[in-house]
Structure 1
Amino acid sequence: MASLTVRTVQALIKAGVPAKFGDGRCLYLKVQPKGEPYWMLRYTIHSRRRDLLASLSVPPLVAKRCLNHKLKGVEGIYERHDYFDEKRETLLRVVAEIRFINERYD
């Protein structure tokens, strides 16, 4: 798929078919089996593919919150903290990393 337009993304999410859809570069829309979509940025440096949040050593619980994953089981019931400060810090680190990659490899 060459690009993901707003209409295309809305249609893919509405269809709820579990799959990964790329924009032709390194941004992917991943739709989970229950129709829960999230965005994933994948890039390759020195022949190694990396996922951005994993490369920044983001704690798994914060990464799930940044990706809007629903917590399951007891954790999903009792974990009510919104992680706003942690998500903000993580997303600022993501922006800095994207700028670094863009400046270094463009």
Structure 2
Amino acid sequence: MNPIKLQKVFQEIQKNIRCPRCGKRYAFDEIHLINFTGSIYFLQLNCQMHLPLLATVAVSGLSIEQPLSKESISPDDIILAHKIISKAKKLKEIIG
């Protein structure tokens, strides 16, 4: 197990995952590693007020990067993406 990779996983969970009941972010001491195999981590996230959440996190060799654009996705963007996906017969047509 790579401790640096595990620390990054915990940091990403703290930033992005919230308790589904109350919306509270998980503190570092509320994230517990249950087990791991290869690059798959099994975690327990404990909210003080609610039942624990079990999470399975698969980590690729790619680094975690910020999005290239900070623009929000508009409803028109979603409609356009849906039209493109609906018309495509093969995945290659979508991703080029």
TM over 0.5: no
TM-score class normalised by the smaller sequence: under 0.3
Asked which structure has the greater CA Rg, the reply is 2
When normalised by structure 1's length, the TM-score is 0.22
When normalised by structure 2's length, the TM-score is 0.24
